[in-house]
Amino acid sequence: MNKRSGMCCFLSAVSLVVCLAGAAAAQSQSPSITAIKAGRLIDPESGTAATNQVILIEGEKIKAVGANLAIPAGATVLDLSKLTVLPGLVDAHTHMAITYKEQPENNYYYLTYVMDSTALRAIQAASNGIQLLNAGFTVIRDVGNNGLYADVALRQAIEQGWLPGPTVIPSGIIIGGTGGQFWPTPEMYKQHNIVYPEYLDANTPEEIIRAVRENMLFGARTIKLCIDCKPWGYSVDEIKLAISEAAKGGCKVDGHVQTPEGAQRAIDAGIYIISHGNALTPEHHRQMGAKGIFLAGTDTPFTKYRGNENAFKQTVAKLRDAWEKKVPLTFSTDLDYWNERMKDEKNGEWLSRGDLTIAFLDTWKAAGIPPADILRAITVNGYKAADVIKERGPIKPGFFADLIAVSGDPLTDIDALRNVQFVMKNGMVFKKDGAMMPEKSFHPGPVRIPSGRYTR
Ligand SMILES: [Zn+2]
């Protein structure tokens, strides 16, 4: 038997096992039906709400939505008639598997990276995922600084059913020119290869292709480039090369931008998302609006635990200008830090990762952006930026059943999103009556055929 026919036999054996497993699953249990009675159902795309809707869910997906749907006998009925139902929320730029702190590293994440193993960081990421799902976030883009692919592992673990969490769009390792965002010493760089695995050095066209392919091989669903982390940042042609290589694996490119020149190169190359709004000028906003380039501005609010008044004023003004110029805005945080002041001012309790994330609404409110537009940014634009819009997000037949419910009306009062009462992910209830009920979301083994590194 030569190698080739051996591989064919192996593949047919695998597909036979997969088919048999699928048939067995179909025979043993027909998918359960859940009917949600929604008092109000928001469509963030149009910024409208319909009253007294029924959402039928079969297994993991939405089967039908409407006012006069018959509820099948035997369906589990969830009465949310006093609540407003809407699609799950998206943080379009976050970091699940790094937490830099004041103690002991003085907020210097180079030290966090040296002191915290990828394994520890992966467990932090799992905890962060549960906290974010509890706050209503059903999709997150996790864009680097996750050690050795802890972001991909988190996606796989959630997808396989080990634990609850949002759908994770991992970038794998951030690709940059020599050094990434670090300024290491010669001995640490040359003798200890310290930049990897926080950054993948890629300095030539060949290295850029290799780095993009390597990330996709290890499970990345988006590609993150350091456009201008160093004075030797990427040229327009180099960014274009990364975009075309990423497209072969179905990935869009997100550029970390910190200078006006870098922003212009990213825009000229036709990048999909620009991360960080600080360096963008009104002219950049105009071009991004015209080209439909997403902005993940990472618009940090000024709070007791983070930020300062001047920086906040500038952030607010830039977000406002981007909105006026019709840039496709996403809700994004860049959360990768923690400190001892992150407590609720009223009751002194720790703020959860979900609380800290949704607090970014402060910046959007300060910019005077209407609730319907904020809602679009934190839902529809997030699904588009995460490139999941064809299967996940909108509450429509055929889509995964990811939805949340809140008291009040986020179309008039966006702060309603701060108190999520109900969360459903992939058709499974994760939170009800304001309390997590995750027992069924933890399994002692993978409940789905593994994907990610194995299939796309
Ligand atoms: Zn970031």
Ligand 1 midpoint to CA 334 (Å): 4
> What is the pLDDT at residue 447?
84
Q: How many degrees, rounded to 5, is the angle at CA 133 between CA 57 and CA 123?
A: 130
Q: What is the CA radius of gyration of the chain?
A: 22
Residue that the structure tokens 């991004």 belong to = 288
Ligand 1 midpoint to CA 454 (Å): 27
Ligand 1 midpoint to CA 168 (Å): 15
Structure tokens at 319: 């977000």
pLDDT 10s digits, 156-192: 999 999 999 999 999 999 999 999 999 999 999 999 9
pLDDT 10s digits, 276-327: 999 999 999 999 999 999 999 999 999 999 999 999 999 999 999 999 999 9
pLDDT 10s digits, 375-397: 999 999 999 999 999 999 999 99
Ligand 1 midpoint to CA 112 (Å): 15
> What is the pLDDT at residue 450?
62
Ligand 1 midpoint to CA 335 (Å): 7
Query: Would the pLDDT of 29 be above 90?
Result: no
Ligand 1 midpoint to CA 14 (Å): 39
Q: Of 319, 317, 264, nearest to 297 (Cα)?
A: 319
> What is the pLDDT at residue 445?
87
Whether 149 contacts 171, CB under 8 Å? no
Ligand 1 midpoint to CA 93 (Å): 6
Query: Would the pLDDT of 18 be above 60?
Result: no
Ligand 1 midpoint to CA 256 (Å): 8
> What is the pLDDT at residue 342?
97
* Cut 0.75: pTM above it: yes
pLDDT 10s digits, 247-284: 999 999 999 999 999 999 999 999 999 999 999 999 99
Ligand 1 midpoint to CA 11 (Å): 40
> What is the pLDDT at residue 441?
86
Ligand 1 midpoint to CA 448 (Å): 30
- In the structure, what pLDDT confidence band is assigned to residue 439 with cuts at 50, 70 and 90? confident
For every residue of 154-216, DSSP letters joined together read: HHHHHHHTSS--PEEEE--SEEESTTTT----HIIIIIH-TTTTTEEE--SHHHHHHHHHHHH
User: What is the arithmetic mean of pLDDT over 77-105?
Assistant: 97
Ligand 1 midpoint to CA 269 (Å): 21
For every residue of 296-338, DSSP letters joined together read: E------BTTB--HHHHHHHHHHHHHHHHTT--EE------EE
